[in-house]
Amino acid sequence: MKAATAARNKIEYWHALLNKTREAAELAGLDDENLRQELEQEVSTLEDEVGKKSFETMLSGKYDADDAFLAIHAGAGGTDSQDWTEMLMRMYLRWAETRHFESEVMDMTEGEEAGVKSVTISIKGAYAFGYLRSEKGVHRLVRLSPFDSAHRRHTSFALVEVLPQVAFDNPEVKIDPNDLKIDTYKSSGAGGQNVQKNATAVRITHIPSGLVVTCQNERSQTQNRENALKVLTARFLEIQNAEKSEEIAILRGEYTKAEWGSQIRSYVLHPYQMVKDHRTDYEEGNSQAVLNGKLDGFMEAYLKQKDKDTSK
């Protein structure tokens, strides 16, 4: 049903675009100078739409059309790296918002002083995984540290993981329910009314592999359990497919530590403003705009390069 709905939506979109093109051609055939400005705007809109759809042909990977789980982990840099992790979380939530995607924080561990140690976000929307797979890797921040009394320049790192969302009963994923250990505990929070009196948080352990997933965002233990199972299934799919050498790069890539020399992208806030992707050399001079979710340029540059490399 999901595949049928997606196919139906594509067909309806192309039929609508074809009708718009025919209407524009008919107006142009009238050769009325008063319609020139309206036609120019319509042609520009049609060109943008066709360009966007042409780009989506690069999103033809096995999981590209799926929703995604995005996990961010603080790396080297102490409190600064935890603050950096929170900045990245905000950046991706803003990006999802600009694309009208549905986003939800599934699980989050806050830092001792500030920021976030790790966070898992669910992002749902057309080709969410296809776009976000360009973000997998280590992200580096260079800035004057707000946590340094001398206000010196610090470098912080965070690791971003991206996984496709798949159903727990997906035939590709073989998980025996008997291999799962499910624990419940009280959600952690900022204190006061934010702390749950009941044990609603869920921790699921896959005993044979030792894989552990937690979820504590929802007030319902049942909902947290369902969400944790979704994340576990996505991580299990990653492990299974990583065993196939041709899919390692598609899903996660080789594991890299979040530290010097391993970054895929650098965000420089001092002594100048620039964000540069080291895989494609694509860069933006407005760092704040990028941190506010302006990521499409980086994603498209990466996907175009991957498409070029694949076609060789």
pLDDT of amino acid 251: 53
pLDDT of amino acid 49: 87
Domain ranges of the chain: 2-46, 68-165+264-311, 177-242
Q: What's 34's DSSP letter?
A: G
284 or 217: which carries more pLDDT confidence?
A: 284
93 or 226: which carries more pLDDT confidence?
A: 93
The CATH fold assigned to 68-165+264-311 is: Alpha-Beta Plaits (3.30.70)
- CB 92 within 8 Å of CB 116: no
| Mean pLDDT for the stretch of residues 126-141 | 94
pLDDT of amino acid 291: 97
Model confidence at 58, in pLDDT bands (50, 70, 90)?
A: confident
| Mean pLDDT for the stretch of residues 111-140 | 93
Mean model confidence pLDDT for the chain:
86
107 or 257: which carries more pLDDT confidence?
A: 107
**Owner of token pair 């175009």:** 304
pLDDT tens digits, 172-199:
788 888 999 999 888 765 443 444 456 7
pLDDT tens digits, 92-124:
999 999 999 999 998 999 988 899 999 999 999
Task: Give the Å distances, CA to CA, from 246 to 174, 252, 253, 267.
Answer: 20, 12, 10, 31
Model confidence at 253, in pLDDT bands (50, 70, 90)?
A: very low
- CB 302 within 8 Å of CB 279: yes
From the list 160, 162, 189, 190, the residue with the least C-alpha distance to 88 is 160
pLDDT of amino acid 129: 95
pLDDT of amino acid 80: 94
pLDDT of amino acid 135: 96
pLDDT tens digits, 267-277:
999 889 999 99
Model confidence at 171, in pLDDT bands (50, 70, 90)?
A: confident
Above 80 in pLDDT, residue 244? no
Three-class secondary structure assignment of 90-147: HHHHHHHHHCCCEEEEEEEEECCCCCEEEEEEEEECCCHHHHHHHHCEEEEEEEECCC
pLDDT of amino acid 77: 76
The CATH fold assigned to 177-242 is: Double Stranded RNA Binding Domain (3.30.160)
Model confidence at 243, in pLDDT bands (50, 70, 90)?
A: low
pLDDT of amino acid 190: 46
pLDDT of amino acid 155: 92
221 or 290: which carries more pLDDT confidence?
A: 290
From the list 226, 195, 228, the residue with the least C-alpha distance to 214 is 228
pLDDT tens digits, 145-154:
998 878 889 9
- Dist. CA 162–CA 120, nearest whole Å: 10
Question: b/e map of 100-138 (b: 16 or more CB within 10 Å)?
Answer: ebebeebbbbbbeeebbbbbbbbbebbbbbbbbbbbbbb
Query: What's the distance, Cα to Cα, between the start and end of the chain in Å?
Result: 36
